[in-house]
Structure 1
Amino acid sequence: MRMVFSLVMVLGLGLAGFAAWKTSEFINVTKAREQAALKRIVPTVEVFVANKPLPFGHVLTPDDVVKVAWPKNALPETIFQDPALLFPGDGSRQRTVIRQMEKFEPLLASKVTEPGEDAGLNTRLDRGMRAFTIKVDASSGVSGFLRPGDRVDLYWTGNTAGLTAESSGEITKLIESGINVVAIDQSTEGTATGAAKSVTVAVSPQQVARLAQAQMTGRLAMSLVGVSDDTTAAAADVDKRGLLGIIQQEVAPVEAAKVCTIRTRKGAEVVEIPIPCTN
């Protein structure tokens, strides 16, 4: 009996020792794996990325971006990490997207403008509108008083002789009213000085065709519309007679005098002899 008890105790101690050894081995292996995993973990930093597709010309707001972890050893040179740099000041000087970005694409300085910087002329055009440039001088361009954002009426002066029965030479006609100016010369800012050489306006494709034809066949002049003026200019056609107030007199047709005759025969010859008309 004592021998059996001793044998069981020895066997139990052996099993306990084996279990302890296996446990220790498992712990050592687990620690080694954890240390290897820690060595493989790449340090990260938080950066700003787009949280949705951002098209060209989009004005960037805090709602368009989100912060994500980015590998520290793979940071692009001009990536944004500080919100004060991405959105400086009180929000009045916003950045504009100048390269289309996809969702979760990092925001880089090369993909957005500087704060308050204009992104270009095409960002000022509404849907369906086109930019058209008109050559002007000091008189036709309102002597340098135009600025981007102004509205103008456009007048065409050209020769209409031979186009219609009533055409009588040169005429000045209002062809477009309340057209938006988007650029002066090559500037979209309101800082231009002096008389402009060209004015770019935002018009529809149909208006582009009209203005191109007008510029080829005559001279264009502009008149500045007031800021608070919401009226629509009435049609205006003025030629030389209208300018000088000359009214063309209509000549009444002269009725030809009625002549009455009688015919008489003298031999083989028939002679008409005038006589007074009785009615």
Structure 2
Amino acid sequence: MNKRMVITLGAGLVVTMVLAIVAQALLSPKNEAVAEAPQVTQILVASQDIPVGAELSDYYMQWIEWPETALFPSAIKRQDKQETSDAISGILVRRIEKGEPIVESALVSESKGNFLAASLGTGMRAMAIRVSAESSVGGFVTPGDKVDVIMTYQVRVPADDEVRDAAATLVSRNASQTVLENVRVLAVDQEAKPKDNAKIARTVTLEVDSKGSETLALASSMGDLSLVLRKLGDETHANADEREALTTDVLMSNVLRQLTGGQNNRESRTVRVYNGPNLDEQVIRARIGPPVMR
């Protein structure tokens, strides 16, 4: 075999290989030459850091695209054009970082027993009191309302005559005063959400701070408690003078006021007591007692 024949055979072999490669490229499907785009869906994530105890809202959530291949069972997928607030609701029992997927296990809903504890504000307590139709605005108090708490009680005046004289112009037996203001109603009986078919409650749970819980406990043992419903959005508080004010039977009753009104202005007389060389003068004021019922 001469040199020319070897060159001719080699060139033919190279041409054959090139033609085979070109034919394979032309006959192969285009979708095999280009990688398929991954399928995606939308899931719910935190649009910012969400603290423990926060109630979920549109403010905290957003939809983002997520690969179908990376989808996990607890992810919350978007249905059609669903809004974030329609997908899930509840209160967080653990912190969620910005961009982290939101899952149901991080929430507590009203159907769970610890929903009330999760809904408390920072530093606040939940405390229940007994109520009746009359003491709870006829049963129209519902969770989320703001109320004032009024205590009505019997005053026990000490046996000291001077104290009794001083107290007679203010109170005979009964008094009432506002002990707590602008308190949020957490639950009525065991319902933490307003219901359409309202019924007369037996207990109302209020949100109070540590001092408020002590005040409420003492007031419950001293007398009867009544709830006064506030106008929606009314956040006003009584000033210092109003907080010290109270209503008593003497202030309410014209009869008692007439009986006690001039008591401290009645005629008094001075008694001189001689003890050896010493002289002691004592002022004796007239005193009237409560009326005797026959």
- C-alpha distance in 1 between matches for 2:11 and 2:151: 108
What one-letter code is carried by the residue in structure 2 that aligns with 1:144?
G
Q: State the partner residue of 1:223.
A: 228
Alignment of 1:238 onto 2:238: no
Q: Could you tell me how far 1:218 is from its partner in structure 2? A: 2.9
Q: State the partner residue of 2:153.
A: 158
8 Å contact from structure 1 (residues 80, 109) kept in 2: no
After the TM superposition, which of the residue ranges 251-260 and 240-249 deviates more from structure 2?
251-260
Q: Could you tell me how far 1:193 is from its partner in structure 2? A: 1.7
List runs of 5+ in structure 1 lacking aligned partners. 262-279
- C-alpha distance in 2 between matches for 1:258 and 1:182: 65
Q: State the partner residue of 2:170.
A: none
Choose 1 or 2 for highest CA Rg: 1
**Secondary structure in structure 1 of the residue aligned to 2:270:** coil
Report the RMSD for the aligned CA atoms in angstroms. 4.8
Change (3 A) 1:240 1:111: same
What one-letter code is carried by the residue in structure 1 that aligns with 2:83?
F
Q: Could you tell me how far 1:20 is from its partner in structure 2? A: 6.7
Change (3 A) 1:83 1:120: farther
Q: What are the within-5 Å matches in structure 2 for residues 1-279 of structure 1? A: 7=3, 10-11=6-7, 13-14=9-10, 17=13, 44-52=39-47, 53-55=49-51, 57-60=55-58, 64-71=62-69, 76=73, 79-84=76-81, 86-87=82-83, 95-98=88-91, 100=94, 101=96, 106=101, 120-121=115-116, 125-161=120-156, 166=163, 170-187=174-191, 188-191=193-196, 193-227=198-232, 232-233=237-238, 234-235=242-243, 236-244=245-253, 245-246=256-257, 247=260, 249-250=263-264, 254-256=269-271
Q: Could you tell me how far 1:220 is from its partner in structure 2? A: 1.4
Change (3 A) 1:113 1:230: closer
TM-score calculated relative to the size of structure 1: 0.61
Q: Could you tell me how far 1:127 is from its partner in structure 2? A: 4.3
Change (3 A) 1:48 1:241: same
Change (3 A) 1:256 1:107: closer
What one-letter code is carried by the residue in structure 2 that aligns with 1:71?
T
List runs of 5+ in structure 2 lacking aligned partners. 168-172, 277-294
- C-alpha distance in 1 between matches for 2:158 and 2:18: 108
Percent identical among aligned pairs is 23
Q: Could you tell me how far 1:104 is from its partner in structure 2? A: 5.4
Q: Could you tell me how far 1:50 is from its partner in structure 2? A: 0.9
8 Å contact from structure 2 (residues 143, 188) kept in 1: yes
What one-letter code is carried by the residue in structure 2 that aligns with 1:158?
Y
**Secondary structure in structure 2 of the residue aligned to 1:67:** strand
- C-alpha distance in 2 between matches for 1:60 and 1:123: 19
Q: Could you tell me how far 1:254 is from its partner in structure 2? A: 3.4
Change (3 A) 1:258 1:42: closer
- C-alpha distance in 1 between matches for 2:91 and 2:235: 34
Q: Could you tell me how far 1:201 is from its partner in structure 2? A: 2.5
TM-score calculated relative to the size of structure 2: 0.58
Structure in which a larger fraction of residues adopt helix: 2
Change (3 A) 1:87 1:178: same
**Secondary structure in structure 2 of the residue aligned to 1:142:** helix
What one-letter code is carried by the residue in structure 2 that aligns with 1:65?
W
- C-alpha distance in 2 between matches for 1:128 and 1:240: 37
Q: Could you tell me how far 1:108 is from its partner in structure 2? A: 5.5
